[in-house]
Amino acid sequence: MTDSPARVLTDDELDVLELALGGAVPRLPFVTGPVTLTDTENTPLAEVGADGSPTPVKPIAAALGPQWDERLRVPARDVAAAVAPGTTAVWTDEVPTVEDAATIARVAERGGVLLLVPASRRTAPGTVGAAGLTRAVVALAEEIPGRPRVVVVPYPHRSTTAVAPVDVTPADVATAYGAERLLVPGEERSPETRAALADLPRAHARAVAALYPAASAREVERAAAAGHGRGTVVFFTGLSGSGKSTVARALAAELDDDGLGTTLLDGDAVRHHLSKGLGFDRESRETNVERIGYVASLVAKHGGIAVAAPIAPFAASRATVRGLAEAAGARFLLVHISTPLEVCEARDRKGLYAKARAGEIPDFTGISSPYETPDDADLTIDTSEVSVEDAVNQVRAAL
């Protein structure tokens, strides 16, 4: 680790960094070195030299879901080394239709096929996320002659409201992964299939209109558009390194994959935005937690799901957050990630405990500042004994 300035990466930039570290992108055009790249938890991930090329420092944190399966999420250089000459890469950025499957099967009959699944850390509302897309493509591969290989590709989110930090095209990625040709099934669809897909949002309305009188149909449509009902706040608390952010991210990703719009309020990410400028004394920490609780209560008030994961060391501020959620009419679930201090310190991905022990960080929870163990937790999980997947399942069961 050098003394170079640090830059916290966005989700899109994390995708590009992963591409670069895997050999798919030669350099990072959105930074000039020397600089240390970190995630929102301030974990150093890579050092960037003056030429823009990154050198890994620590592994990029993975999450749950098939898109994170290490058998599928393989670096470009490793895939390219194993791809047969003449292979066609199929860019499956949408759930394949019946027509798409037939197109891919015809290509597979003529030669090698590599199914690339572009998986972003962000999902546009109303679309199938990375987990669902990966499941669909893996299932499709089982039906294609020769069972082509499926590879998950970290890829920046693209939409009309968000611009990727680097112009990485599907053709660039296909070449980096060893393919000689690129097929985008969506571009090969017939006019009939395109029209049918475009008409899907109106199909429900027509079905409702056919089943109900006009006044009843309006009420059914109104109820369908009213949201998800009672909102929920899932509030994680625990020491730095306990695993609360990892579990929170995995939970939010699963809820998103189920079509439940979820807002993740991670402690470190909030510090960069909502609570920028606050210190780490007791008053500042309580203010930070209460700000998170206020935003979470607003999300839940309108039927959404808010997942928050600050350290939240003090009982008084946690009680305030619970009160805000309940006043908004939301369900509130306090999850204590009770991983022992010695385990948290051994993990120490950010190197913070070592600095705290050396006296370089004052008011560090668990070392020089107290952590008030919750006596009102709705769920207690020790991630030194429970896997992330099991932890998420416990939270979902509690909900």
Q: What would the 3-class secondary structure string for 282-344 be?
A: HHHHHHHHHHHHHHHHHHHHCCCEEEEECCCCCHHHHHHHHHHHHHCCCEEEEEEECCCHHHH
For residue 29, cis peptide bond before it (omega within 30 degrees of 0)? no
**Average pLDDT rounded to a whole number, residues 241-252:** 92
Distance CA 135, CA 116 (A): 13
350 annotated ligand-binding residue: no
* Coil, helix or strand at residue 387: coil
Same domain, 151 and 37: no
Question: How do residues 118-141 score in pLDDT, each as one tens digit?
Answer: 998 877 666 788 899 999 999 999
Cβ atoms of residues 240 and 314 within 8 Å: no
Whether 1 is in a domain gets the answer no
Same domain, 50 and 142: no
Same domain, 181 and 257: no
Going 234 to 240 to 241 to 245, the CA torsion angle's sign is positive
Cβ atoms of residues 396 and 331 within 8 Å: no
Per-residue pLDDT band at 81 (split at 50, 70, 90): very high
239 annotated ligand-binding residue: yes
Q: Domain range for residue 26?
A: 6-56
Same domain, 239 and 368: yes
Per-residue pLDDT band at 161 (split at 50, 70, 90): very low
242 annotated ligand-binding residue: yes
Output the six-digit token pair for 276.
């920028």
Distance CA 47, CA 35 (A): 6
Per-residue pLDDT band at 226 (split at 50, 70, 90): low
Q: Which of 85, 159, 142, 89 is nearest to 117 (CA)?
A: 89
Whether 159 is in a domain gets the answer yes
241 annotated ligand-binding residue: yes
Amino acid at 246: T
Question: How do residues 195-225 score in pLDDT, each as one tens digit?
Answer: 999 998 889 889 999 999 999 998 888 776 6
Same domain, 209 and 155: no
Judged against a pLDDT cut of 90, whether residue 166 lies above it is answered with no
Judged against a pLDDT cut of 60, whether residue 163 lies above it is answered with no
CA distances from 270 to 211, 267, 273, 295 (A): 47, 5, 5, 11
Same domain, 218 and 301: no
Whether 113 is in a domain gets the answer yes
Q: Which of 223, 242, 274 is the last residue of a domain?
A: 223
**Average pLDDT rounded to a whole number, residues 62-75:** 92
Per-residue pLDDT band at 32 (split at 50, 70, 90): confident
**Average pLDDT rounded to a whole number, residues 93-111:** 94
Number of domains the chain contains: 4
* pLDDT for 66: 92
Output the six-digit token pair for 273.
């935005």
Question: How do residues 286-302 score in pLDDT, each as one tens digit?
Answer: 999 999 999 999 999 98
Whether 322 is in a domain gets the answer yes
Question: How do residues 348-398 score in pLDDT, each as one tens digit?
Answer: 877 889 899 989 988 899 999 999 999 999 999 999 999 999 999 999 999
Whether 93 is in a domain gets the answer yes
- What burial letters (b/e) apply to 342-355, b meaning 16+ CB within 10 Å? ebbbebeebebbee
260 annotated ligand-binding residue: no
Strands 331-337 and 232-238: parallel
Same domain, 278 and 356: yes
183 annotated ligand-binding residue: no
Cβ atoms of residues 145 and 109 within 8 Å: yes
53 annotated ligand-binding residue: no
Same domain, 117 and 254: no
Cβ atoms of residues 324 and 390 within 8 Å: no
Distance CA 288, CA 82 (A): 50
Same domain, 241 and 376: yes
**Average pLDDT rounded to a whole number, residues 162-188:** 84
Same domain, 182 and 272: no
Per-residue pLDDT band at 313 (split at 50, 70, 90): very high
Of 16-25, 60-69, 106-115, the range with the lowest mean pLDDT is: 60-69
Whether 61 is in a domain gets the answer no
Helix (H) or strand (E) holding 175: helix 170-176
279 annotated ligand-binding residue: no
- What burial letters (b/e) apply to 272-286, b meaning 16+ CB within 10 Å? eeebeebeeeeeebb
Judged against a pLDDT cut of 50, whether residue 160 lies above it is answered with no
Same domain, 258 and 394: yes
Q: Mean of the per-residue pLDDT values for the chain?
A: 89
Distance CA 54, CA 26 (A): 9
Highest-confidence range of 10-14, 270-274, 341-345, by mean pLDDT? 341-345
